[in-house]
């Protein structure tokens, strides 16, 4: 299960505190040391951990907390609040264009779950807002990607615009946008190309597609299981594309949690959704406070 190791270690660190009626500064320091190790072992970014520990210590070390009623409980609350803040305070909804269509460009490394997430989001909008999305198949390098998107489209009854793999993605997107206007689609999903690694050719293509499509939302899809690599990927994509949000996939797997806990703080961009399974309905809004509570167990 996701966060299992982290949850156990945080609980251990905090339960040591709970056993004491009175908490001394030395107790607090020891607890924070354990929490620091737990977060680093969960693959949370080093600087993010440093800031977190400093923030909790600053808030908890005051006489009001340590000499107050139930200091352990107060420290647990502070840890919970700071974990929430690390992940972004509150949920951030999908951007919406004042006029149709709202254009959502999906980017990410191959295998992260871009195509799947495009389908999940299209279905969600269809179910919740009666939306009429169009999906554009612009990942021409992974041969199966277009077929995969077409199959998904059939499954959720959403049209897919494609021109095969021989046309360049810029042209596909140009014509796809014209198709969206013709169909009066209110959402357009662009399933952009992914690669196994970030490279310059990919980034330039994505920059060009962004220029053509003028997306309202650039969602970076990252695999939560890849830990610090997910964070580096996010920094790379954000640096070139100025992404507007992140979708963290595979949170149903046994991720240690580092990506979920670091991406927001490192990139400044909100996690908007989490993927929690392979089914088309396995997509949830990301609520930092609920995630913090889940992590604390
Ligand atoms: P893309 O290359 O980024 O378009 O990745 P795909 O959408 O093809 O997804 C790669 C694999 O990850 C597929 O087998 C998906 O079913 C799977 N996948 C995507 N999202 C999730 C998720 O949230 N949980 C799980 N368990 N699998 C996922």
- pLDDT at residue 279, rounded to an integer: 97
Residue pointed to by tokens 């140009």: 174
Query: pTM of the full predicted structure?
Result: 0.95
Low-confidence ranges of the chain (pLDDT < 50): none
- The ipTM (two decimal places) reads 0.99
CB 276 less than 6 A from any atom of ligand 1: yes
End-to-end CA distance of the chain: 12
112 lines ligand 1 (CB under 6 A): yes
**Ligand 1 lined by 193 (C-beta under 6 Å):** no
Burial of 173 (0-12, 13-18, 19+ CB in 10 A): buried
User: How far apart are the CA of 149 and the centre of ligand 1, in A?
Assistant: 12
Best of 145, 278, 284 for a ligand 1 pocket test (most atoms within 8 Å of beta carbon): 278
Give all strands of the β-sheet with 217-223 in edge-to-edge order.
160-161, 133-137, 187-191, 102-107, 217-223, 245-249, 271-275, 283-285
């Amino acid at each position: 299960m996701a966060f299992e190791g982290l949850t156990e270690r945080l609980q251990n660190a905090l339960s040591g505190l709970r056993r004491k009626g009175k908490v001394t500064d030395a107790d607090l320091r020891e607890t924070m040391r354990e929490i620091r190790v737990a977060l680093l072992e969960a693959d949370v970014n080093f600087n993010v951990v440093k800031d977190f520990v400093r923030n909790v210590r600053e808030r908890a070390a005051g006489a009001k907390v340590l000499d107050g009623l139930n200091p352990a409980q107060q420290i647990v609350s502070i840890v919970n609040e700071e974990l929430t803040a690390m992940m972004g305070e509150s949920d951030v909804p999908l951007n919406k264009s004042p006029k149709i269509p709202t254009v959502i460009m999906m980017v990410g490394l191959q295998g992260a779950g871009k195509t799947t997430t495009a389908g999940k989001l299209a279905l969600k909008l269809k179910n919740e807002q009666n939306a009429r999305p169009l999906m554009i198949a612009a990942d021409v390098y992974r041969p199966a990607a277009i077929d995969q998107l077409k199959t998904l489209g059939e499954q959720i009854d959403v049209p897919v615009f494609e021109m095969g793999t021989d046309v360049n993605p810029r042209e596909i997107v140009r014509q796809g946008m014209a198709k969206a206007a013709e169909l009066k689609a209110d959402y357009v999903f662009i399933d952009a190309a992914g690669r196994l690694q970030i490279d310059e050719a990919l980034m330039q293509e994505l920059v060009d597609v962004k220029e053509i499509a003028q997306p309202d939302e650039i969602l970076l899809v990252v695999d939560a299981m890849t830990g610090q690599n997910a964070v580096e990927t996010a920094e790379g994509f954000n640096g070139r594309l100025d992404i507007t949000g992140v979708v963290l996939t595979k949170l149903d797997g046994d991720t240690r949690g580092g990506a979920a806990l670091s991406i927001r703080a490192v990139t400044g961009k909100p996690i908007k959704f989490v993927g929690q399974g392979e089914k088309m309905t396995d997509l949830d809004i990301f609520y930092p406070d609920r995630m913090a509570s889940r992590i604390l167990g």
